[in-house]
Copies of this chain bind each other. A is one copy, B any other.
Amino acid sequence: MPFRIKIPRSTIDRLPLYYRCLNLIEEHGIEEISSQVLGVRVGVDPSVIRKDLAWFGELGKRGVGYNVTYLKEAIGRILGLDKEWPFILVGAGKLGMALAEHNRKYGRHFHLVGVFDRDPEKFGLMVGGQQVSPMEEMPAFVKEKDIKIAMLAVPAEEAQKVAHELVKCGIKGILSYAPITLSVPEDVLVYNADYNLDLQRLAYYLSNDGNISWGE
């Protein structure tokens, strides 16, 4: 029976930052890096990096640092990037189309394998290397190919309904660009990519300089 430990969410959130940065560093031909230097590059305190990595074993060499390629690959495995992650896109509007095209350029571990929309006028259009198919075909497609991830780029009014459908077909992770909070079962993960949220957070800090003031 496997020994299971819960890793802090904040740790997981940082791993992709490390991974992204290590790829760059590797391209520059650097072989060893200390938590100190990596910390500067990703904007994270060195002791945080060491603690984060320590959850997964002894990844570095004392007195030396971390081997860039080794660490990159270790983090990749931890994140599950040694697997292929096919995903679908629902909603072939302007945003959906751009996301699909963008991914084709940058994605390595995540592959767009299907695009679905309700609008008959969209059917057959090529988006991110895929033909847009009618929404009705989505369930069979997802089940057959055992797809776990979906990007959601439909209008707010449709989003919740589509999310239900996705979950029903076995989708376990949703990256949602819809401007609403989706309600899904516990075992389904939703990441909100609606950029208005971030703009509003920015606005707060720009307005208040990180504080609230009152009195005189």
Interface residues of A (CB under 8 A from B): 1-7, 12-13, 15-17, 19-21, 24, 41-43, 55-56, 78-81, 83, 85, 87, 94-95, 97-99, 101-103, 106-107, 109-110, 148-149, 151, 156, 172-173, 175, 179-181, 183, 189, 191-208, 210-216
Contact = CB atoms under 8 A, between A and B. Distances in A.
B213 A2 contact: yes
Contact of A202 (B19, B191, B208): B191
A94 B202 CA distance: 24
Contacts of A21: 180-181
A204 B12 contact: yes
Contacts of A87: 199
Contacts of A79: 200-201, 203-204, 207
Task: Please state the number of chain copies in the assembly.
Answer: 2
A210 B97 CA distance: 31
Given A211-B4, A214-B2, A216-B2, A197 B16 contact: yes
B208 A80 contact: yes
22 contacts: A1-B216, A2-B213, A2-B214, A3-B214, A4-B213, A6-B210, A7-B210, A12-B201, A12-B204, A15-B201, A17-B181, A21-B180, A78-B212, A80-B203, A80-B208, A83-B207, A85-B199, A85-B203, A85-B206, A151-B195, A173-B205, A189-B202
